[in-house]
Amino acid sequence: MPEPNHTSRRTLLRGLGGALAVPLLAGAEEKSETYTNPLGIAVADPFVLREPDGRYVVYGTGGGQGSTAYPAFTSSDLVHWKSIGETYQRNPADSWCTDTFWAPAVYHVKDRYYMFYSAQWRDNPNHEKENYRIGAAVSDKPGGPFRDIRNAPLFDPGYPAIDADLLFDSDGRIYLYYSRCCYKHPIESELADWARKEKIYTEIEESWIYGVEVKPDFTGTIGEPVLVLRPPVRLSDKNAAWENLSVTTKEVNRRWTEGPCSFKHGGLYYLMYSANHYLGENYALGYATAKRPLGPFQKASNNPVLRKNTDRGGTVSGPAHNCVTLSPDGSEMLCLYAGRTAATGSRRVLFLDRMEIRKDGTLLVHGPTMTPQPMPSQKQRRDG
């Protein structure tokens, strides 16, 4: 059974790890005392890998028009990034996946790197518009090329699945969280009743987050997926108002629970998630906690922990689909996520803000910020 690189996460945060494929000019970084969002990367669905030497690689949605996908960038301070190109390699003629390459997540296990990603499945006899599945690829280097472990999806739950995220538990078991797509998944709820009464929509489709154990060699799953998070059923639910915005603002007849981001802290399992339309201004971030990796999860009362600030005099909208990492010296928790500004328009760009978990277990993200912020702490690196 492969062992994860414990210095890159585990008891506090999800697998980060990440060696530097192309060195950066450290001098420019050391001179910086502050940074300002957004960072200089146009990327969605970010995932950051952190190696024991403190180097980072961020992967994101993109590519896939030919034989490669998933652009990546390297950094040693989480602010200054350098492109290393697209990291996933396939043979378009016979690959199990054809297009729509989304949300890569990469983990360092022993001396190899494993990428889990979403793409459209070639096996589509019914010509479904959304036929996404999750694939698994491996490389000897964090910059790739990543090649599929086998020319097939990791598993087939019988519905479109995206947004893979892995949690390596302290007992050695590995869990995959993913999102079942809204596609052809109409669900009855008080919101659906309201939408019909208001003659806005006849049905409301939903995406749900599931969890399932993964085989140690990453060739498949163990047991049946377990539903861990879904949109609120009742309008009185504390999370209903913000999670219902795509419907109540008449944007679209869908409610999302997607972009899982998991980690363990203080004996609790944290599962961060994104709700509302990813192309809309109300895309926002919440979290839930549980005592066991497959739940039951309880959504937080202080959700959303990250949302647009355009209604508060700011210019940021749609800040969500995040990942979590540590500062170079390990003293700060940081949240990387995609969002938009008035200047970037429809293009999603990368943001970095601090986050914390208080003694009572409450998770906070201090953002979105657009004013100068102190650089992520590097005291240990500088002094050592």
**Per-residue pLDDT tens over the stretch 124-173:** 999 999 999 999 999 999 999 999 999 999 999 999 999 999 999 999 99
Share of the chain above pLDDT 70, in %: 90
Q: How many Cα atoms sit within 13 Å of 122 on the Cβ side?
A: 12
Question: What pLDDT, on the 0 to 100 scale, is given for residue 383?
Answer: 40
Asked if residue 346 lies in contact with residue 337, where contact means CB atoms within 8 angstroms, the answer is no
7 — pLDDT class (breaks 50, 70, 90): very low
User: 3 pLDDT exceeds 60?
Assistant: no
How far apart (Å, rounded) are the C-alpha atoms in residues 118 and 101? Answer: 6
What does the pLDDT read at residue 65? 87
Query: Residue 214 domain-assigned?
Result: yes
Determine the average pLDDT of the residues in 192-197.
98
Q: Is residue 264 part of a domain?
A: yes
Write the pLDDT tens digit of every residue in 45-88.
Answer: 999 999 887 799 999 999 998 999 999 999 999 999 999 999 99
User: Residue 203 carries which DSSP code?
Assistant: -
CB 148 within 8 A of CB 135: yes
Q: Could you tell me if residue 138 is inside a domain? A: yes
The per-residue pLDDT of the chain, averaged, comes to: 91
Residue 17 pLDDT: 31
In a domain, 103, yes or no: yes
Among 4-13, 223-232, 256-265, where is mean pLDDT lowest?
4-13
pLDDT at site 54: 79
Contact at 8 Å (CB) between 262 and 167?
A: yes
Residue with tokens 């657009």: 370
CB 262 within 8 A of CB 168: no
Q: Report whether pLDDT(23) > 60.
A: no
pLDDT at 382 over 80: no
**How far apart are alpha carbons 111 and 230 in whole angstroms?**
36
Residues 134 and 162 sit within 8 Å (Cβ to Cβ): yes
DSSP H helical segments within 188-318, as ranges?
190-197, 240-243, 245-248
DSSP string, 144-180: --BEESSSS-S---SS-EEEEEEEE-TTS-EEEEEEE
Rounded to 5 degrees, φ, ψ at 88 are: -100, 135
Domain of residue 24: give its range.
6-383
pLDDT of amino acid 4: 46
Give tens-digit pLDDT for 82-116.
999 999 999 999 999 999 999 999 999 999 999 99
| Interval 353-364: pLDDT, tens | 999 999 999 999
Q: Is residue 213 part of a domain?
A: yes
pLDDT number for residue 40: 87
Cα separation, 48 vs 72, whole angstroms: 9
Q: Is residue 1 part of a domain?
A: no
- Specify the pLDDT at position 11: 35
For 247-257, the pLDDT digits (tens) are 999 999 999 99
What is the rounded distance in angstroms from the CA atom of residue 290 to the CA atom of residue 287? Answer: 11
- 306 inside domain: yes
The pLDDT of 246-272, averaged and rounded, is 97
Rounded Cα–Cα distance for residues 18 and 8 (Å): 8
pLDDT at position 380: 52
Residue 30 has pLDDT above 80, yes or no: no
Cα separation, 42 vs 35, in Å, equals 17
Q: Is residue 149 part of a domain?
A: yes
Pairing of the two strands 317-326 and 205-206 = unpaired
Give the integer Cα–Cα distance in Å for 17 and 5: 7
Cβ atoms of 22 and 84 closer than 8 Å: yes
Number of domains present in the structure of the chain? 1
Does residue 103 contact residue 61 with C-beta atoms inside 8 Å? yes
| Residue 12: band (very low, low, confident or very high) from pLDDT cuts 50, 70, 90 | very low
> Does the bond joining 231 to the residue before it have cis omega, within 30 degrees of 0?
no
Q: Which two tokens stand for residue 338?
A: 């995609």
The CATH number of the domain where 270 resides is what?
Answer: 2.115.10.20
Percent of the chain with pLDDT over 90: 88
Name the helix (H) or strand (E) containing 382. Answer: helix 379-383
